[in-house]
Structure 1
Amino acid sequence: MARTFLIHGYVEDPTIFDKLVPYLPAAEFVRINLADEFERWQPVGLVNVQRVANYIADCYEIEATDVIIGHSMGGWIAIHIKQLTNAIVIQVASWTDQRKIRLPTHNLRLLKMLLYSGITQSRPLLNYFQKQYPFQESADLYCRLMNGMRTMSRRYLYQQLQTLFAPVSPLTVSPELRIHARRDSIVARPSEPFVEVPGDHFGLVFYPEQVAEAILTVDLSDLFDRL
């Protein structure tokens, strides 16, 4: 049976895919938990998405016949795994250009300072972001993720921030499919063609049938024939 890897986003965990998986074709689903992966890996020195992708590709012996579905940061990791392995990649609410991430600053030095000063995980700042979040439909999920940050180690949070924002070489590959909601307030919509789904950044949770329908438009048999 074909392997389908699921890679979650920033401060998420593999349960972000729970609503989507039942609508997908039968496969050997491999849920990547990045907290566990970083704990096993224990990388020394600076991290970037290319190092993360290389670790995951080697650890799981990912090949061109494998499928990777990545949400948000998970899609950013997935496309770099494709760069290494030519695996089939489907990005959901993700990007191939770091400038698409909607955050007031992408400066890693500043983000690290805010994190290790305690500001990033402080209740006042998290409450502020929760109040500013514009979508009622996914507000509870967003708040749960923000509150979950308070229990994450600073080391792991900084590893994720580096994965998001550390400079990397330009990509030479593209995903087989981009899925995005125009109302996404966390990641700007792609400049390239994409399949639009309802909702916001968390469409795979609240509109899993529509996200699955988009995924099913990818003719995997045709892709395998071209390998």
Structure 2
Amino acid sequence: MRMFFGSWFVLILLSRGTLGIQDGVDARFELWSFMASLWINGHHECGGTVIDNRIILTAAQCVADIPLKNLSVRVGTVDIYKGGSIIAVTAKIVHEKYRELNNDIALLWLKTSAVSDRVAKAPLTIKEPAEREFPSNAGWGERQLESYDAPRKLQNGVTKIHLRKFCSDELIETIGDNLLCSYYTQNDICPGDYGGPLILGNKLVGIAIQGHGCGYVNLPSIYTNVFHYLKWIDDNSKKIRKNK
């Protein structure tokens, strides 16, 4: 069943705040029913997004060197330790040219369908987000950098899209069309949030891949640009279905 996301994303700033996604709030399940928690050896490590019945989209950095037998996902809950379903991962495709900050994208094939009356598929964007738009992010990331203390409940926040030149200038490295640059007050993505979704207009526009100091330094965050990889996602979704 496809959930209605509507304009609720702009209302999250009015809710009670906790940490995780830096300056995030407890997420409403009905707005994030496509959210997946990626587990490695029985522990949450990254986020992911349900984009098809048995396909999760995540960051390559989360799964590139991990054996399939050690991978599973939890869907259908905002509580990292309770509810929903835990499903084994039986196949994966990591971008063939992945390296740090470049082509940081991967697909996971699940043993059974993730979609149910509680779990929806997130539609992919059909255009790139523009400067000064305000997408939403979500995750179970660390409360502080290297604290290894993560919230039990899914957190979400709002960030702001900037020109790539802003990120290039601030980070002193080239940010290409395959990436999105975001920064908004102290909102940031932290370890544990990587691989998770960036949502704008009810569609998936980005994959979280790099934050800087979990909001404690005034530096932007980086996301894989989903629009740039639409053909790769389509081609490799077909491949993973065929060769599962």
> TM-score if structure 2 supplies the norm length?
0.27
Query: Between Structure 1 and Structure 2, which shows a larger proportion of strand residues?
Result: 2
Structure ID, larger Rg: 1
Identify, as 1 or 2, the structure richer in helix: 1
